């Protein structure tokens, strides 16, 4: 997210995001790449909106928009013990989604810090 965009967002939104991040696990792009390269079994969910996919997607991801991820998570996994990595463009929406999925009983849910933007810079 650009600094200008962040300034246009209500501060209460960022307070909610920061509170969510304190309750969930965030992983780095390096962590995710290690998971992929090691052959670890995990589900990867892209919670960005469809029009954002034009920028690309992380290989292996299932696209489930943020607005319906809680309802449609079974498109990616029904195994609540399986590692589950959530990402968005910058890490805010994925943190919120990860917290909700954790509250739904997913035991090993993680949010990708920096989201697709961080991934794209390091690929």
Cα distance between residue 42 and residue 12, in whole Å: 32
pLDDT at 71: 98
Which alpha helices (DSSP H) does the chain contain, by range?
3-8, 11-23, 29-38, 69-72, 92-103, 115-122
pLDDT at 114: 98
Domains of the chain: 26-122 (3.40.250.10)
Cα distance between residue 114 and residue 34, in whole Å: 17
Burial of residue 95 (CB within 10 Å: 0-12, 13-18, 19+) is: buried
**What is the block-wise mean pLDDT of the chain (123 residues), using blocks of 10 residues?**
64 95 98 96 98 95 98 97 98 98 98 98 88
pLDDT at 7: 62
β-pair partners for 45: 62, 86
Cα within 13 Å of Cα(83), Cβ side:
16
Element (H, E) at 91: none
Residues serving a catalytic function are 88
């Amino acid at each position: 997210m650009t600094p200008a965009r962040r300034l246009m967002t209500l501060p209460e939104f960022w307070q909610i995001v920061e509170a969510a991040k304190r309750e969930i696990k965030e992983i780095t792009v390096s962590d995710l790449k290690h998971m992929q390269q090691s052959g670890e079994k995990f589900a990867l969910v892209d919670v960005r909106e469809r029009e954002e996919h034009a920028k690309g997607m992380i290989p292996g991801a299932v696209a489930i928009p943020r607005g319906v991820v809680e309802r449609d998570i079974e498109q990616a996994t029904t195994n609540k013990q399986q590692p589950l990595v959530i990402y968005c463009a910058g890490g805010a929406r994925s943190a919120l989604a990860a917290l909700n999925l954790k509250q739904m009983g997913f035991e090993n849910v993680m949010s990708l810090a920096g989201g697709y933007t961080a991934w794209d810079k390091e690929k």
